[in-house]
């Protein structure tokens, strides 16, 4: 266990800006009104995480090496481009395919004024959720005790502690992510305090109802952890991957569920605050 103090938030999602594809030139203004896939079928968008770009695919029959080349031309500071395959395993790491540039996977990126050190091969990084993480601040009371139960590299925990004078426990089974969080703490100043703990969330090492609020950001497996999170918490913000609000209600409890991300055609990530 580490006892530390510090940081806050990550991100930006980039669309095409002034890229030449298949002998067509697209301007920034054009891309503000049309999806990237309209110009280059099979490609949704790409994230920029520090010096690394990550392409989000829709189909396999796309020349992603060409896409990577154009991204690096448009953004000279990008050193590496990867293709996102899927999130895998208990540690929730990205399966990535290297496309172009230098074979680097670690970088520092800035989101909402906060610096994050990440290794994209060892933790799941999704900058497009930075707005949701910022909204979490509205749920946190000054002086309260908070658990970020699946912290990864600390995106939720650092966001909260950067702006709020609270005590946050940031925990995960992924030791690599916790080391990244520890490093990020040295890069920022925060108002609150963070303790970093490695554990298996099936058996949380905390007393009953010790946390005013917990965040359960593990959408694919969250049902398995509901009982344990509610044991240690008065309230839990659950994230769940499912088909509908009705499914979320039946799985985790009746509340107001908000769709925060599209996972596939019929699956979405919903977020809801449940009183335990």
Tokens read off for 189: 């100043």
Is 120 part of a structural domain of the chain? no
User: Mean pLDDT across the chain, nearest whole number?
Assistant: 84
Is 119 part of a structural domain of the chain? no
Together in a domain, 88 and 187: no
CATH for 78? 3.30.300.110
Helix axes 175-185 and 155-163, enclosed angle (nearest 10): 30
Q: In a 10 Å sphere around its CB, with 0-12 CB exposed, 13-18 middle and 19+ buried, how is residue 103 labelled? A: exposed
Is 122 part of a structural domain of the chain? no
pTM of the model: 0.82
Q: What does DSSP say about strands 213-217 and 235-242: parallel, antiparallel, or unpaired?
A: parallel
Residue 99 predicted with pLDDT over 80: yes
Residue 250 predicted with pLDDT over 90: yes
Least confident of 48-52, 53-57, 167-171, 225-229: 53-57
Is 188 part of a structural domain of the chain? yes
Which one of 75, 110, 145 terminates a domain?
A: 110
Q: For tokens 């950067």, name the residue.
A: 162
Is 116 part of a structural domain of the chain? no
Which one of 57, 76, 110 terminates a domain?
A: 110
Together in a domain, 96 and 49: yes
Together in a domain, 215 and 166: yes
Is 77 part of a structural domain of the chain? yes
Q: How confident is the model at residue 90 (pLDDT cuts 50, 70, 90)?
A: low
Specify the length of the chain in residues: 276
Residue 238 has what pLDDT? 98
Is 115 part of a structural domain of the chain? no
CA distance 276 to 139: 15
Query: DSSP letters along 36-77, please?
Result: HHHHSTTEEEEEEETTEEEEEES-SSS-HHHHHHHHHHH-TT
Together in a domain, 75 and 164: no
- Specify the DSSP element, H or E, that contains 229: helix 226-232
Between the CA atoms of 119, 226, 131 and 166, what dihedral angle is there, to the nearest 10 degrees?
A: -90
Query: How many structural domains are present in the chain?
Result: 2
Together in a domain, 158 and 199: yes
Together in a domain, 101 and 144: no
Identify any residues that bridge with 241 across adjacent strands, giving them in sequence order.
269
Percentage above 90 pLDDT, the chain = 66
- The candidate with the shortest Cα–Cα distance to 262, out of 241, 247, 239, 238, is 241
Together in a domain, 133 and 202: yes
Give the angle subtended at the CA of 274 by the CAs of 271 and 276, to the nearest 5°. 150
The pLDDT of 252-265, averaged and rounded, is: 90
Residue 94: give the domain boundaries: 13-110
pLDDT, one tens digit per residue, over 234-246 is 999 999 999 999 9
Contact 207, 182 (CB under 8 A): no
CATH for 269? 3.40.50.150
Is 152 part of a structural domain of the chain? yes
Together in a domain, 88 and 142: no
Together in a domain, 150 and 90: no
Together in a domain, 153 and 254: yes
Residue 59 has what pLDDT? 65
Other CB atoms within a 10 A radius of the CB of residue 110 amount to: 16
Together in a domain, 268 and 135: yes
Together in a domain, 39 and 149: no
3-state SS class at 28: helix
Residues 6+ apart with CB under 8 A from 161: 5, 6, 7, 8, 168, 190, 191, 192, 193, 194
Which one of 61, 83, 110 terminates a domain?
A: 110
Q: How confident is the model at residue 40 (pLDDT cuts 50, 70, 90)?
A: low
């Amino acid at each position: 266990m580490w006892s530390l103090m510090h940081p806050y938030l990550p991100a930006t999602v980039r669309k095409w800006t002034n890229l030449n594809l298949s002998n067509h030139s697209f301007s920034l203004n054009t891309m503000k009104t049309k999806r990237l896939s309209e110009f280059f079928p099979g490609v949704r968008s790409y994230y920029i995480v520090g010096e690394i770009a990550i392409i989000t695919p829709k189909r396999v029959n796309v020349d992603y090496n060409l896409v990577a080349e154009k991204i690096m031309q448009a953004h000279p500071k990008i050193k590496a481009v990867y293709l996102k395959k899927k999130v895998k395993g208990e540690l929730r790491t990205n399966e990535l395919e290297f496309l172009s540039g230098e074979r680097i996977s670690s970088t520092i990126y800035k989101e909402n004024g906060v610096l994050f050190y990440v290794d994209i091969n060892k933790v799941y990084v999704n900058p497009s959720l930075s707005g949701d993480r910022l909204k979490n601040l509205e749920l946190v009371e000054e002086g309260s005790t908070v658990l970020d139960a699946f912290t990864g590299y600390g995106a939720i925990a650092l966001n909260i502690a950067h702006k709020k004078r609270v005590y946050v426990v940031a925990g995960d089974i992924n030791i690599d992510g916790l080391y990244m969080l520890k490093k990020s703490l040295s890069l920022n100043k925060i108002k609150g305090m963070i303790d970093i703990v490695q554990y298996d969330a099936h058996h949380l090492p905390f007393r009953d109802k010790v946390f005013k609020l917990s965040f359960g950001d593990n959408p694919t497996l969250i049902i398995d952890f509901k009982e344990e999170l509610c044991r240690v918490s008065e309230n839990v913000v659950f994230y769940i991957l499912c088909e509908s609000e009705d499914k979320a209600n039946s799985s985790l409890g009746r509340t107001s569920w908000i769709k925060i991300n599209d996972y596939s055609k019929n699956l979405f990530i919903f977020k809801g605050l449940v009183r335990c």
